[in-house]
Amino acid sequence: MPMRKIRVHVENLRARPGIYHVTPERWSAACARHRAQGRRIEASFGWDGETLEDALKDAEIVIGLRSRLGRLAERAPRLKWLHATLAGVDRLFPLDWLPPGAVLTNNHGAHGVKAEQYMHMAYTMLNTRMAEIAVNQHARRWRQVFSPSIIGKTALVVGLGDLGQAAVRAAKKLGLRVVGVSRSGKRVPGVDTAHKGAALDRLLPAADYVVMAVPLTPDTRNLLNRARLDLLKPAAGVINIARAQVLDYDALAGKLGRGELTGAVVDVVDPEPLPPESPLWETPNLIITPHISCDDGEHYVDISLDLWFANFARFLEGKPLRNRVDPRRGY
Amino acid sequence: MPMRKIRVHVENLRARPGIYHVTPERWSAACARHRAQGRRIEASFGWDGETLEDALKDAEIVIGLRSRLGRLAERAPRLKWLHATLAGVDRLFPLDWLPPGAVLTNNHGAHGVKAEQYMHMAYTMLNTRMAEIAVNQHARRWRQVFSPSIIGKTALVVGLGDLGQAAVRAAKKLGLRVVGVSRSGKRVPGVDTAHKGAALDRLLPAADYVVMAVPLTPDTRNLLNRARLDLLKPAAGVINIARAQVLDYDALAGKLGRGELTGAVVDVVDPEPLPPESPLWETPNLIITPHISCDDGEHYVDISLDLWFANFARFLEGKPLRNRVDPRRGY
Let me know whether B239 and B307 are in one domain. no
Full 3-state SS string of B128-145: HCHHHHHHHHHCCCCCCC
Mean confidence (pLDDT) of chain B: 96
In tens, the pLDDT along B275-294 reads 999 999 999 999 999 999 99
If asked whether residues B205 and B303 sit together in one domain, one would say no
| Interchain pair A289, B19: CB under 8 A | no
| Residue A158 C-alpha, separation from nearest chain B C-alpha, in angstroms | 23
Is A329 within the bounds of a domain? no
pLDDT value at residue A139: 97
User: In this structure, are residues A191 and A166 in contact, taking their beta carbons and an 8 Å threshold?
Assistant: no
User: For position B186, which CATH number holds?
Assistant: 3.40.50.720
Whether residue B94 sits in one domain with residue B44: yes
* Chain B residues touching residue A150 (CB < 8 angstroms): 117
Residue B88 binned pLDDT confidence (cut-offs 50, 70, 90): confident
Give contacts of B 277-296 with A, CB under 8 A: 277-278, 281-282, 287-292, 295-296
Q: Do residues B149 and B253 both lie within one domain?
A: yes
Residues of A in contact with B287 (CB under 8 A): 134, 137
For B228-273, the pLDDT digits (tens) are 999 999 999 999 999 999 999 999 999 999 999 999 999 999 999 9
Q: Any CB–CB contact under 8 A between B271 and chain A?
A: no
Residues of chain A short of pLDDT 70, as ranges, are 1-2
Cβ within 8 Å, pair B149-A117:
yes
Q: Does A90 touch chain B (CB under 8 A)?
A: no
- Pair (A144, A219) in one structural domain: yes
Which chain B residue lies closest to A295 (C-alpha atoms)? Answer: B146
Same domain assignment for residues B284 and B305: no
Answer yes or no: do B269 and B120 share one domain: yes
**Is residue A326 one of the residues assigned to a domain?**
no
As for how many domains chain A has, the answer is: 2
- Asked if residue A188 and residue A54 are part of one domain, the reply reads no
Residue B62: which pLDDT band, with cuts at 50, 70 and 90? Answer: very high
B273 in the same domain as B165: yes
- On whether residue A324 sits in a domain, the answer given is no
Residues 164-193 of B with CB under 8 A from A: 173-174
Q: Residue B68 pLDDT more than 90? A: no
Mutation for testing the A interface, residue in B146, B267, B270 having most A CBs under 10 Å: B146
Average pLDDT over every residue of B307-327: 96
- Asked whether residue A102 falls in the same domain as residue A120, the answer is no
Chain A residues in contact with B149 by the CB 8 A cut-off are 113-114, 117, 296, 298-299
pLDDT digits (tens, 9 = 90+) for A280-302: 999 999 999 999 999 999 999 99
| Tens-digit pLDDT profile for residues B190-213 | 999 999 999 999 999 999 999 999
CB-nearest partner of B173 from A173, A290, A297: A173
B210 SS3 class: strand
A32 inside domain: yes
Whether residue A228 contacts residue A202, with contact meaning beta carbons closer than 8 Å, is answered with no
- In three-state form (DSSP H/G/I as H, E/B as E, the rest C), the secondary structure along A206-226 is HCCEEEECCCCCCCCCCCECH
The verdict on residue B327 lying in a domain is no
Structural domain boundaries, residue B83: 6-110+296-316
With respect to residue B138, please indicate whether it lies within any of the assigned structural domains.
yes
Q: Output the CA angle A281-A128-A267, nearest 5 degrees.
A: 35
Contact B194, B186 (CB under 8 A): yes
Amino acid letter, A145: V
Does the N-terminal peptide bond of residue A320 adopt cis geometry, omega within 30 degrees of 0? no
Cα separation, B314 vs B321, whole angstroms: 6
The confidence score (pLDDT) of residue A68 equals 87
On whether both B120 and B217 belong to a single domain, the answer is yes
pLDDT in tens, B179-189: 999 999 999 99
Confidence class for position B226, pLDDT limits 50, 70, 90: very high
Residues of A (205-264) whose Cβ lies below 8 Å from B: none
In this structure, is residue A156 part of a structural domain? yes
Looking at the fold, whether B270 and B242 belong to one and the same domain comes out as: yes
Number of H helices, E strands in chain B: 11, 12
CB pairs under 8 A between A and B: 135
- Comparing CB atoms, the residue among B138, B146, B292 nearest residue A138 is B138
Residue B22, in any domain of the structure: yes
Task: Reduce the DSSP state of residue A69 to 3 states and report it.
Answer: coil
* Complex ipTM over 0.85: yes
- Count the residues in chain A: 331
The answer on pLDDT for B1 being more than 60 is no
- Average pLDDT rounded to a whole number, residues B5-16: 96
pLDDT-above-90 percentage for chain A: 91
